[in-house]
């Protein structure tokens, strides 16, 4: 019998398991039970699709048995079984592509809690066993196989004998040491507890011979005092009612949390649990979770959104994408409906009216639950928003703002006056009577935005400003256009809707007076700006940049850093000068005496405005030289 080596990555995972100091070693049992249940599901599903007779749902079960003397714990199922190839492919390598990819990404970080992060499945058996033996026979075959491994050294496969189809997993439990107690996994009472805790909802009976005690017959009467005898009885340990079919009142938060963590391979409790049942036009039970943080691959192309879909309790699809809109792609969970047929194909599902109805209902439900959270537990909502706010904002931007109604109440931005995240409704509520717009300003950080010259006038008026720090923010607001009739307006916009900033007769006169100066500056900045203007929005700063047209400076930055954008986008830059600033006086004086110097100053001021905006200056060396010249004059 040849000993085969595990594939490299499996070996590493296996090593981690064997040397695991993981405190939740007990999860190996739920992993093996879940594999057994999957194997039965596969066979049952096949029997339905292929009309196999002779397979009765009631005959399926998972058996647990213990031999204390031999220190073995055996899990048997009468599921689909495995042939030689399956054994090679399934148990010789890691099946879960997710955990593999994750391990690659985090190759340097050995300590990452991979066990908590994923269902590591079958290999977890090595956390508690010295040796693992698998005896299996595929349904419909007359050959049985034995796979055996004592750990990282490798495994062997040989032909063997087995009565019925299905799989026995035989664990030789490690001896207990002073520090570690492994005997507990041979204790039937403890095993019963573990099944209840982790696998109660499994839809096939998990049976075990349980030791019991009863009064001997004929004792316990006046003549004969009670005598007791031990006997054993096979008991079904799990209730088999899936948690989503149970009544909400029967369930404790930890029941939901355990279920979530086990099912979706998270070691953190979910932030929010939504358990709903509906009857009528669409009849279904849904159990949805909002994770406490984004899954490790959430921001990659590989992440697949979707909910598990069950038809009358039988899993028919693992990630049904049609059940979730993109902007709620972070939601995990499942839907069980009796309105769907068991052998419906993926293609048919896509056009299923019932499924669309369910998806609509779920979207509304998720939205209302999130809104409820925002109202009832702000802190928790902010945790949620920090994790998934970006997804909501992309949603507001996508499809030309079509999802505005669903999302606008869920959005939050940092407020200049409140110094924290606020909702659009809260902003609107605080707006001054004469205030026309919802103002925003963009930048890298809140601190940087707070010091932007463009915000001065607005602050002077006591207007609140939303500080946008994410790339998508301004795009989202532009797409939404307004919130309940109040338009969004950038602090850098030409028209702020403030009298004082608008062209008054006085500023018009001033501009007229300095027409030639402004023209000379504009010529000096040919190709860099489309205009040089006097500004009404500046208070203490000499200059700022603004943009004409639909593309702001922030949007220019974002669009040009997008991969594959190719063509460079350019905002129509406008250099604004503060006519009340001493620098403007200097310019005016120079204009009369030293026109060349005006050109130099124009460039200096333009570069300053770029720096304030956080935009790169074209020629830092020339800029620095010009300043040195000024200093040494």
- The two tokens of residue 37 are 């249940």
Q: Least distance to ligand ADP from the beta carbon of 558, Å?
A: 39
What is the nearest approach in angstroms of ligand ADP to the Cβ of residue 298?
Answer: 20
Interface of this chain with ligand ADP, residues 227 to 286, rule: CB under 6 A: none
The tokens describing 435, both together, are 């205030």
Residue 134 Cβ, how far from ligand ADP at the closest point, in Å? Answer: 8
In whole angstroms, the minimum distance from the beta carbon of 36 to ligand ADP comes to 5
Subset of residues 284 to 323 that bind ligand ADP, contact rule: CB under 6 A: none
Binding footprint of ligand ADP, residue count (CB under 6 A): 16
Among the listed residues 18, 55, 95, 551, the single contact to ligand ADP using CB under 6 A: 95
Rounded to an integer, what distance in angstroms lies between the CA atom of residue 604 and that of residue 527? Answer: 15
CB of 81 to ligand ADP, least distance (A): 6
Q: Are strands 486-490 and 438-442 parallel, antiparallel or unpaired?
A: parallel
Exposed, middle or buried, 270 (CB in 10 Å: 0-12/13-18/19+)? Answer: buried
DSSP state of 304: -
Segment near ligand ADP (CB under 6 A); pick from 79-87, 177-185, 316-324, 564-572: 79-87
Gyration radius (Cα) of the chain, Å = 34
Closer by beta carbon to ligand ADP, 95 or else 626 = 95
Q: Which stretch binds ligand ADP (CB under 6 A): 115-123, 334-342, 497-505, 522-530?
A: 115-123
DSSP H helices, 417-569, are 424-430, 446-450, 456-460, 471-480, 505-513, 515-524, 553-561
With respect to ligand ADP, which residue has the nearer C-beta, 237 or 491? 237
Which window, 78-86, 272-280, 397-405, 449-457, contacts ligand ADP (CB under 6 A)?
Answer: 78-86
Told to check if 114 binds ligand ADP by CB under 6 A, we report no
| Piece in contact with ligand ADP (CB under 6 A), picked from 32-40, 100-108, 173-181, 370-378 | 32-40
CA dihedral 369, 370, 375, 380 (to 10 degrees): 120
Q: Tell me which stretch binds ligand ADP (CB under 6 A): 89-97, 176-184, 545-553, 612-620.
A: 89-97
**In this chain, which of 6, 10, 26, 35 binds ligand ADP, going by CB under 6 A?**
35
Query: Considering only residues 47, 65, 74, 90, which one is a binding residue for ligand ADP as defined by CB under 6 A?
Result: 90
Give me the residues paired with residue 286 across strands.
276, 335
Q: Which helix H or strand E contains 599, and what residues bound it?
A: helix 595-613
Which residues 164-193 are close enough to bind ligand ADP by CB under 6 A?
167
Give me the phi and psi of 370, to 5 degrees please.
Answer: -65, -40
Binding-site string for ligand ADP from residue 117 to residue 146, where x marks contact by CB under 6 A and - marks none: --x-xxx-----------------------
The CB-of-17 to ligand ADP minimum distance in angstroms stands at 11
Contact segment (CB under 6 A) with ligand ADP among 88-96, 240-248, 393-401, 427-435 equals 88-96
What distance in Å separates the CA atoms of residue 416 and residue 422, rounded to the nearest whole number? 10
Measured distance CA(393)–CA(100) in Å, rounded: 31
Q: Which two tokens stand for residue 105?
A: 């990404």
Residue 157 Cβ vs ligand ADP, minimum distance, rounded to whole Å: 13
- Per the CB < 8 A criterion, the answer to whether 413 and 440 are in contact is yes
Do residues 553 and 613 touch, judged by C-beta distance below 8 A? Answer: yes
Length of the chain: 633
| Residues 449-478, interacting with ligand ADP (CB under 6 A) | none
Query: What CA–CA distance (Å, rounded) separates 146 from 165?
Result: 13
39 is an interface residue for ligand ADP by CB under 6 A: yes
What are the residues whose beta carbons fall under 8 Å from the beta carbon of 449, sequence distance 6 or more? 441, 442, 443, 455, 467, 468, 469
DSSP 88: I
Question: Which helix (H) or strand (E) is 603 found in, with range?
Answer: helix 595-613
The three-state secondary structure class of 412 is: strand
Closest-by-Cβ residue to ligand ADP is 121
Q: Please say whether the beta carbons of 411 and 393 come within 8 A.
A: yes
Q: Which residues pair with 72 in a beta bridge?
A: 67, 172
Minimum CB separation from ligand ADP for residue 261, in Å?
15
User: How many C-beta neighbours within 10 Å does residue 415 have?
Assistant: 19
122 contacts 29 by C-beta, under 8 angstroms = no
Of the candidates 131, 241, 210, the residue with the CA atom closest to the CA atom of residue 175? 131
Among 36, 334, 458, 534, binds ligand ADP (CB under 6 A): 36
Minimum CB distance to ligand ADP, residue 203 (Å):
15
**CA-to-CA dists, residue 626 to 17, 446, 518, 601, 633, angstroms:** 65, 31, 21, 9, 11
Interacting stretch for ligand ADP, rule CB under 6 A, among 90-98, 203-211, 222-230, 431-439? 90-98
Residue 6 or residue 591: which is nearer to ligand ADP going by CB? Answer: 6
- Min dist CB 48 to ligand ADP, Å, is 18
* 608 binds ligand ADP, rule: CB under 6 A: no
* CB 30, min distance to ligand ADP, A: 11
Q: How far is the CB of 34 from ligand ADP (least distance, A)?
A: 7
Provide, rounded to whole angstroms, the least separation between the CB of residue 67 and ligand ADP: 19
d(CA 225, CA 231): 19
At its nearest, how many Å lie between ligand ADP and the CB of residue 91? 6
Closer residue to ligand ADP, CB minimum distance, 95 or 387: 95
Q: How far is the CB of 119 from ligand ADP (least distance, A)?
A: 5
Q: Are 158 and 61 in contact (CB under 8 A)?
A: no
Neighbours of 597 (CB within 10 A): 16
Q: Which is nearer to ligand ADP, 79 or 151 (CB)?
A: 79
Nearer to ligand ADP, 95 or 321 (CB): 95
396: left (phi over 0), alpha (psi -120 to 50) or beta: alpha
Q: Which residues bind ligand ADP (CB under 6 A)?
A: 35-36, 39, 77, 79-80, 82, 90-91, 95-96, 119, 121-123, 167
């Amino acid at each position: 019998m040849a000993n085969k080596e595990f594939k490299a990555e499996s070996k590493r995972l296996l090593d981690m398991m064997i040397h695991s100091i993981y405190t939740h070693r007990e999860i190996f049992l739920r992993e093996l039970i879940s594999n057994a249940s999957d194997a039965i599901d596969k066979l049952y599903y096949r029997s339905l699709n292929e009309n196999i007779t002779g397979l009765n749902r009631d005959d399926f079960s998972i058996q647990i048995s213990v031999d204390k003397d031999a220190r073995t714990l055996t899990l048997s199922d009468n599921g689909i079984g495995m042939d030689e190839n399956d054994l090679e492919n399934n148990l010789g390598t890691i099946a879960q592509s997710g955990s593999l990819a994750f391990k690659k990404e985090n190759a340097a970080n050995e300590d990452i809690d991979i066990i908590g992060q994923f269902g590591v499945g079958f290999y977890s058996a090595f956390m508690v066993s010295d040796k693992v033996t698998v005896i299996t026979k595929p349904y419909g075959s007359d050959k049985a196989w034995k796979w055996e491994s004592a750990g990282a050294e490798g495994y062997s496969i040989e032909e063997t004998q087995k009565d019925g189809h299905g799989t026995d997993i035989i664990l030789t439990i490690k001896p207990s040491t002073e520090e570690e107690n492994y005997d507990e996994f041979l204790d039937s009472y403890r095993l019963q507890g573990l099944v209840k805790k982790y696998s109660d909802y499994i839809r096939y009976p998990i049976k075990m011979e349980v030791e019991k005690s009863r009064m001997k017959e004929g004792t316990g009467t006046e003549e004969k005092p009670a005598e007791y005898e031990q006997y054993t009885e096979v008991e079904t340990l799990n209730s088999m009612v899936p948690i989503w079919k149970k009544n909400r009142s029967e369930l404790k938060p930890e029941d939901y949390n355990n279920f979530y963590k086990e099912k979706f391979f998270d070691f953190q409790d979910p932030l929010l649990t939504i358990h709903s049942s509906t009857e009528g036009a669409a009849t279904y039970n849904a159990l949805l979770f909002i994770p406490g943080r984004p899954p490790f691959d959430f921001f990659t192309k590989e992440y697949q959104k979707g909910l598990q879909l069950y038809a009358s309790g039988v899993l028919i699809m693992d990630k049904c994408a049609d059940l979730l809109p993109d902007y709620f792609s972070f939601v995990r969970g499942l839907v069980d409906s009796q309105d769907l047929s068991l052998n419906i194909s993926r293609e048919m599902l896509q056009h299923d009216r019932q499924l669309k109805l369910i998806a609509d209902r779920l979207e509304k439900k998720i939205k209302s639950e999130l809104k409820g959270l925002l109202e009832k537990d702000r802190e928790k909502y902010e945790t949620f928003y920090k994790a998934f706010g970006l997804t909501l904002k992309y949603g507001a931007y996508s499809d030309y703002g079509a999802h505005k109604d669903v999302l606008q109440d869920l959005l939050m931005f940092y407020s200049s006056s409140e110094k924290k995240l606020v909702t659009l409704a809260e902003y609107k509520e605080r707006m001054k009577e004469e205030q026309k717009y919802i103002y925003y300003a963009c930048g890298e950080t809140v601190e940087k935005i707070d010091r932007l010259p463009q915000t001065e006038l607005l602050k002077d008026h006591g207007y609140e400003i939303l500080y946008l720090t994410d790339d998508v923010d301004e795009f989202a607001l532009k797409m939404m256009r307004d919130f309940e009739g109040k338009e969004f307006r950038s602090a850098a916009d030409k028209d702020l809707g403030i009298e004082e900033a608008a062209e008054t007769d006085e500023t018009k006169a001033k501009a007229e007076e300095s027409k030639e100066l402004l023209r000379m500056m504009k010529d000096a900045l040919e190709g860099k700006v489309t205009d040089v203007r006097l500004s009404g929005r500046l208070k203490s700063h000499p200059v700022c940049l603004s943009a004409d047209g639909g593309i702001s400076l922030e949007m220019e930055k974002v669009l040009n850093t997008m991969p594959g954008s190719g063509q460079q986008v350019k905002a129509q830059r406008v250099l604004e000068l503060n006519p009340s600033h001493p620098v403007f006086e200097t310019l005016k004086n120079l204009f009369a005496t030293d026109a060349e110097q005006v050109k130099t100053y124009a460039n200096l001021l333009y570069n300053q405005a770029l720096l304030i905006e956080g935009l790169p200056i074209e020629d830092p060396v020339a800029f620095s030289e010009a300043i040195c010249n000024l200093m040494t004059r």
